[in-house]
Chain A
Amino acid sequence: MSDTPGDWNSALMLDGNAVGGLLEEVFGREMTSSRCQCAHCGAVAALATLLAFTQAPGVVLRCPGCKEVIVRMVNTGAAVFLDVRAATYVRLERRTA
């Protein structure tokens, strides 16, 4: 999949809800309601609202505002590669007892 916005196939676009299982597998907790900040435009958004492209060997999550890539995840079976360099932060709520 190209990283050029003009090349997107928006028909294949989902959102972060769709990768909730993979995120929970990696982080050990529910992640879709966690918010992150896009390093490109500064927008803050719940992971559930990121645009998700999943019809590929990996998962790409893009900012719903500026459309730039925020997260890349590739599951090789033996491991998951996680690239979140374009998230300024990911906010993890403390569990309340």
Chain B
Amino acid sequence: MPPLDWQLGVVTSLRDETASVKTLTLALPQWMPHRAGQHYDVRLVAPDGYQAQRSYSVASGPERVGEIELTVERLEDGEVSTYLTDQVVVGDQVEVRGPIGGYFVWEVGMGGPLFLVAGGSGVVPLMAMLRHRAAASSHIPTRLLYSIPAPGSILYRQELDALQSAQNDLEVFYTFTRTSPPGWRGYARRIDRSMLAEVTRPLGPTFLTYVCGPTLMVEATATALVELGLAPAHVRTERFGPTGKEHSP
């Protein structure tokens, strides 16, 4: 494994995902394939030497050679996320190191069935897994349960709709915790044990689970899954605070 060095990525495109979430594409001079679920550290250095550092999950699959996509949620008082979502323009350089992590990762070779549970922007590393799965033309039975406050907060909506089909055995379930779309007949509450049991029933008694979201949502989901009989070793979690994925190193 090469040493984890900082490198200057070049922003090659910017895309609005929602009103407060943006995806940056970075071309990396020392690109290497990541494992879906890994993250990069981003470091900003002010002229006076002050540094701020945060971690952002890679949203793209490892099949995208030479570049990575980072999806960043703008936090009102986030000193890194506001810079990345408000200030950065195409052609800017951003200092990053990665890919980082070996626990919260999934690759087609690890098999399944696969159950992904996302809270808010916790969907980002899970999207990398789904993109990797699609690029590998995998038919591993997969369910994504995605909890968001309202329809406008869904990330990657069109792509998720396009990815799911009966042929490749991927199904996406949304649950809206604050505002549901008009006429919505699906879930409209926080994730709970009965919801988890319903969504995972077609996967059989055991499956690999990845849960990413705010701390309390992750705790509740992991606890409920173990209560439902899933082995703790099959439940991998990644937490971020309720204020988002922005944190100091």
Contacts from A to B (Cβ < 8 Å): 10-22, 24-25, 28-30, 32-33, 46-49, 54-55, 59, 75, 95
Contacts and interface: CB of A to CB of B under 8 A. Distances in A.
A54 B238 contact: no
9 contacts: A11-B242, A11-B243, A13-B215, A15-B239, A20-B100, A21-B41, A21-B249, A25-B4, A30-B102
Given A21-B41, A21-B55, A14 B247 contact: yes
B1 interface: yes
Interface residues of B, number: 26
Indicate the member of B39, B97, B103, B247 with the most A CB atoms within 10 Å: B103
B241 interface: yes
A33 to B, nearest CB: 4
Interface of B: 1, 3-4, 39, 41, 55, 97-98, 100-104, 215-216, 236-243, 247-249
A20 B215 contact: no
A82 to B, nearest CB: 14
A37 B59 CA distance: 32
B237 A49 contact: yes
A32 B41 contact: no
B4 A48 contact: no
Contacts of A11: 215, 241-243
Nearest to B54: A18
Contact of B240 (A18, A30, A48, A49): A18
A15 B103 CA distance: 11
Contact of A21 (B1, B97, B237, B241): B97
Given A17-B55, A17-B101, 10 more contacts: A11-B241, A11-B243, A12-B241, A21-B4, A21-B100, A22-B249, A24-B4, A25-B4, A33-B103, A47-B103
A49 B100 CA distance: 15
Contacts of B237: 15, 49
B1 A13 contact: no
Nearest to A57: B248
Given A13-B239, A15-B238, A48 B103 contact: yes
Nearest to B37: A17
A32 B102 contact: yes
Contacts of B101: 17, 20, 30, 32, 48
Contacts of A13: 215, 239, 241
A93 B18 CA distance: 41
Given A28-B3, A48-B101, A10 B55 contact: no
Contacts of B241: 11-14
Contacts of B247: 14, 18, 54-55
7 nearest A-B residue pairs (beta carbon): A48-B103, A30-B102, A33-B102, A21-B41, A33-B103, A20-B100, A32-B103
A55 B248 contact: yes
Given A14-B215, A32-B102, A19 B239 contact: no
